[in-house]
Structure 1
Amino acid sequence: MGLADHWLKAAYEGASWLKLMRPLESLYVREVERRAAAWRNGRRHPWRAPVPVIVVGNITLGGTGKSPLVAWLGRHLVARGFRPGLLSRGYGGKAEYPLRVTADTRVVECGDEPRMLHDQTGLPVVVDPERARGARCLIEEGCNLIITDDGLQHHRLARDLEIVVVDGARGFGNGRCLPAGPLREPLGRLETVDAVIINGQPHHDVSPSILRSSNTFHMALEPSAWRRVSGDDGPHPLLPLPFSAPPFSPQVRAVAGIGNPQRFFATLDALGIEHQACPFGDHHRFVAEDLAVEDGRVVVMTAKDAVKCRDIAPPDCWALDVEAAPCKAFVAWLARQVAGWTAEAVPHTDPVEKSNG
C-alpha cells in the first residue's frame, strides 16, 4: 500500500497519531463551512438544470458503493420512462471536456468508473470536472434526468435529490474530518441530505442520532456474473465457476484497486473461493506484472479494475460483476420522490458560465 492507503487505514481504525492533525482539521472544516455558507446565503449561485438532478455521493474518503447504485438508479429510472444520463468527474482521466464516453473511449481519457458505468448500463455517460457544463452536454443529447456519480461537495450544479452512501463495515472511521480522519464534511451534513443508504450490514456505530430513521435505508452489493477480462464471450453464471475444473479448483489470485478492497475479498469468501488477496490503491493503474501468475492459476478482479486491464490481462483472468440491491423501502421512497417528475421533452437551456466552484 502507498502512503495515502496507510493514512486511510489509520483514519478508519482510529490511530492515535492522527490527533496531531486536529489543528489542520479545524482549518479544513472552517473552509468547508465558509464555502457552504456562500452557496446557502446566495453569495454564489448554482446553475439550475431544466431537468431533475440526482446526486449520489458520500462524505467519506474511500469506496462506499456509489457507482453500483448509480448504475441501478439509471436502469430503474429507464424502466419508469425517463431518459437518464450519467455524469462523472472521471477521476484519473485526462481529456478535453466535456467528454462523451463511447465504446472507443480509453480509460486513460475518461477514468475507470465512467468506463464501467457505460459498459454496464449502455446509458449516455459524460465526464466533466465542471459538472454544470457536463449536465448541459447530456441534456443536449436528449437526457431528461441527470444522475451524478459523486459531486455531493460540488455545489455549482443545483440538485433535486442528494443521496449519500455509507460503507456499513467501515462507517465514519474515527469521525474526524480531513486530515485527522476520513470525513470530507462534518457528520452534520447528513442532516441536510434527502436520503442515506448504508451499504451492507453496519459493523460500526453509524450514529443513529445523526442518521434520521425515516430517511435511512439499506442496500447490498450482490455478485451477478463472471466475465473474461480480455474476451467478449458474454457473462457466465456465478456457479459453477467458469474457471474451475471440478472436483479441483485452481489457485486464485484476487487483485483489487478500489476504495475498499476488503469488500471484494469478502465477496469471494462468501462465494467459497479460496484466494490470495492482493490489494492495490484506489484507481490503481495496473501493469502486466501486477497480473502475472504461474501456469494453472487464475486471476480475478472487480469490474472497475477490469476496464483498465483488457489489453494486459492473461487469458485466464476474470472479472466479477456486482449489482446494487436497495431495500424495498428505498425503492418505495424513490417512487414518491420522482412521482412529480415527468419524462417530457427537454426544454432549451441557458448557457453555463464557467466556474471553479
Structure 2
Amino acid sequence: MRLIEKVWFQGHSAKWWMVPILLPLMVVFAGLSFIRRLAYKIGLLQAVKVSVPVVVVGNIGVGGNGKTPVTLYLVEKLTEQGLKVGVVSRGYGSNAPYYPYQVHAESTAEQAGDEPLLIFQRSGVNVVIGSDRVAGCQLLIEQGCDLIIADDGLQHYRLARDFEFVVVDGKRLFGNGLLLPAGPLRETKQRINHANCVIVNGESSWLKQAHNLDIPALTMQLTANKVVNVKTGESVKLSDFLAQYLVSEYKVNALAGIGDPKRFFNTLEQYGFTIARAQGFVDHQTFTVDDLQSFSEDLPLLMTEKDAVKCASFAQENYWYLPVDAVFLHTSNVENITAVITELVKLVDEHDARDSYELKR
C-alpha cells in the first residue's frame, strides 16, 4: 500500500502532516468537480444517451471495493434473463493498439487492462474499453447488446445512465472522509443518495448508522470455493487443495496488487491457510518475472484473479489464484437484488416498447 493510502485509510500518525498540506489541492479538486457536474446538470455540457439502457457500477472513492464481482454477478443474472449484455470500461492501465478496443481471446492484460480482461475471461460477454465510453457503447450496440454495464463509470457524466449502483467497502468505508488528494474520495458521501442502489461489500455497521440513506441498500460477501492454477488452468476445490497440495500446516505464499491487499490475505487465513510470506503491491500493479522471483518455489503462491491475468505469460507450476463471487446471503438481500434485476430487465422491455411505438408513428 502506498504511504498516502495509509494516511487516508489508517490515519498513519507518522505522516499526519500530509493531510493539511494537501487540503488546498482538495479545495481545487472539489471546486472543479462541482463545476463539472453542475455543467452537466444545467445543460452546459451534454450527456449522451445511447440507444440501449446503461447501468453504472461504480464507487465514490479510489481503490478496489468489489465492483468487478458485482459487474460479473449482474452479467450472469441478466444473461439468465435472456438479455445480451455488454460491458464498457475505461480500461485503466491498458495499452491497446487503438480505441475503442474490443477485448478478445488473444488480448493481454497489457492491452486490455486487468479488470476488463478478467470480466471477458470469466463471462464471455462483449467487453469494450476506451476513455470515450460513448464510442465504446456504440460499438457494443452495433454487436446487438440489449443492455450495457459501465464498469467504474460513476463519474463519467458524459455517458447518460438509467441505473446506478454504488459499491462501498464495508471495512475501509470512506477512509478519512476527505476528497482527493487529502483523502480517497472522488465525490462526497452525499453522492450515494443520488444513485439507485448501494451495495456494501462485507458486514458493516455503517448501514445501521446511515439514517439519511434514501436508496435501497444491500450487503454482499465475496466467497470462494476453489483455486485455479495460473499456468495450467487446473481447478481444484478449496478443501481438496488444502488436503492434497499443501504440506507443513497449509503454508502458502501470497501476493495481491489490489486496493486493499490485506483483505485478500485475511481471506486466505479465514479459509484455513497459513501464510509464510505475504506481499502487497499497488492496485493494478504490472507484474514482471523479477517481482515474483523472491517467492519460494517450494510453496504454492496464491494471488487474486486480477493479479493472475497479469502473471499468466510467465506463470510457474506453483502459481494459483482464488476466484471470488459476489453472494447476497440474507433472505432480504436476495429478495431485494432479485427485485433490482427484474427492474433492470424492465428497463430493456420499456425501451423496446418505446422504440416500437416510435417506428409505428
- When normalised by structure 1's length, the TM-score is 0.90
- 8 A Cα contact 1:250 1:297, kept in partner: no
Residue 70 of structure 2 aligns with an amino acid whose one-letter code is L
Aligned-pair distance for 1:243?
Answer: 8.0
* Cα distance in structure 2, aligned partners of 1:112 and 1:242: 28
User: In structure 2, do the counterparts of structure 1 residues 227 and 44 end up closer, same or farther at CA, with 3 Å as the change threshold?
Assistant: same
User: Is the alpha carbon distance of 1:318 and 1:215 closer, same or farther for their aligned partners in structure 2, counting shifts above 3 Å?
Assistant: same
Task: Give me the whole-angstrom Cα distance separating, in 1, the residues matched to 2:242 and 2:105.
Answer: 26
Q: Which residue of 2 is the match for residue 58 of structure 1?
A: 59
Distance in 2 between residues matched to 1:287 and 1:346, nearest whole Å: 51
| Shift of residue 201, structure 1, vs aligned partner | 1.3
Contact 1:142 1:346 in 2 (8 A): no
Corresponding position of 1:108: 110
Please say if residues 147 and 348 of structure 2, whose CA atoms lie closer than 8 Å, have aligned partners that are also in contact.
Answer: no
1:11 aligns with 2:12: no
Residue 346 of structure 2 is matched in structure 1 by 340
Judged with a 3 Å threshold, the aligned counterparts in structure 2 of structure 1 residues 104 and 75 are, in CA distance, closer, same or farther, namely same
Distance 1:105 1:246 in 2: 33
In 2, the alpha carbon distance for the partners of 1:346 and 1:99 equals 30
Runs (5+) with no aligned partner, structure 1: 349-357
Q: What are the equivalent positions in structure 2 for 1:145-224 lying under 5 Å apart?
A: 145-202=147-204, 208-212=210-214, 214-224=215-225
2:334 aligned partner:
328
**What's the secondary structure of 2:240's corresponding residue?**
coil
Partner SS state of residue 241, structure 1: helix
**How do 1:71-82 and structure 2 match up within 5 A?**
71-82=72-83
Q: Which runs of 5+ in 2 are unaligned?
A: 357-361
Aligned in 2, Cα 1:210/1:28: closer, same or farther, shift over 3 Å?
farther
Alignment CA distance shift 1:310-1:190 (3 Å):
same
> Partners of 1:20 and 1:210 in 2: how far apart?
32
Question: In 1, Cα distance between the equivalents of 2:324 and 2:245?
Answer: 23
Give, in angstroms, the shift of residue 205 of structure 1.
Answer: 8.0
Distance 1:14 1:174 in 2: 7
SS at match of 1:142: coil
Q: Distance in 1 between matches of 2:22 and 2:246?
A: 53
CA deviation after TM superposition for structure 1 residue 245, in Å: 4.3
The 8 Å contact of residues 169 and 202 in structure 2, kept in 1 or not, is answered as: yes
CA contact (8 A) 2:78 2:341 kept: no
Partner of 2:121: 119
**1:65 to partner: Cα distance:** 0.5
Where 1:340 maps in the other structure, the secondary structure is: helix
What SS does the aligned partner of 1:153 have? Answer: coil
Note the C-alpha offset of 1:224: 3.1
1:19: how far off?
2.5
Identity %: 37
- In structure 2, give the amino acid aligned to 1:291: L
Deviations 1:62-112 (A, max 9, x none): 110000110110010001111000111111101200111011011111100
When residues 232 and 346 of structure 1 are mapped into structure 2, their CA distance, relative to the original with a 3 A threshold, is farther
* Cα distance in 2 for residues equivalent to 1:45 and 1:206: 37
1:131 aligns with 2:133: yes
Task: Classify the secondary structure of the residue corresponding to 1:226.
Answer: strand
Contact between 2:250 and 2:272, CA under 8 Å: does it hold in 1? Answer: no
Separation in structure 1 between the aligned mates of residue 208 and residue 175 of structure 2, nearest angstrom = 9
Residue 310 of structure 2 corresponds to which residue in structure 1? 308
> SS in structure 1 opposite 2:238?
coil
Kept in 1: contact 2:57–2:153 (CA 8 A): yes
Query: CA separation in 1, counterparts of 2:255 and 2:353?
Result: 44
Partner of 2:291: 290
Could you say which residue in structure 1 is the equivalent of 2:359?
A: none
Secondary structure, aligned partner of 1:211: coil
Equivalence for 2:89:
88
Deviates more, 1:45-54 or 1:195-204: 195-204
Q: Counterparts of 2:309 and 2:127 in 1: how far apart (Å)?
A: 15
Alpha carbon RMSD of aligned pairs, Å? 2.2
Partner of residue 353, structure 1 = none
The amino acid of 2:168's aligned partner reads V
Deviation at 1:240, TM superposition (A): 1.7
- Equivalent residue for 1:352? none
The one-letter amino acid paired with 1:277 is A
Structure 2: distance between partners of 1:164 and 1:123: 22
Is 2:53–2:348's contact at 8 Å kept on the other side of the alignment? Answer: no
SS state at 2:57 partner: strand
**Greater displacement, 17-26 / 240-249:** 240-249
Q: What CA deviation, in whole Å up to 9, does each residue of 1:315-338 have, x standing for no partner? A: 111010000113314313313422
Query: Which structure dedicates a bigger proportion of its chain to helix?
Result: 2
Amino acid at match of 1:272: G
SS at match of 1:30: helix
1:67 maps to 68
Query: Counterpart of 2:301 in 1: which secondary structure?
Result: strand
Q: Matched residue pairs, number?
A: 343
CA contact (8 A) 1:53 1:145 kept: yes
Distance 1:279 1:243, change over 3 A: farther
- What is the rounded CA distance, in whole Å, between the counterparts of 1:151 and 1:294 in structure 2? 39
Distance 1:52 1:256 in 2: 34
Q: Deviations over 1:12-31 (max 9, x none)?
A: 12353213322221111111
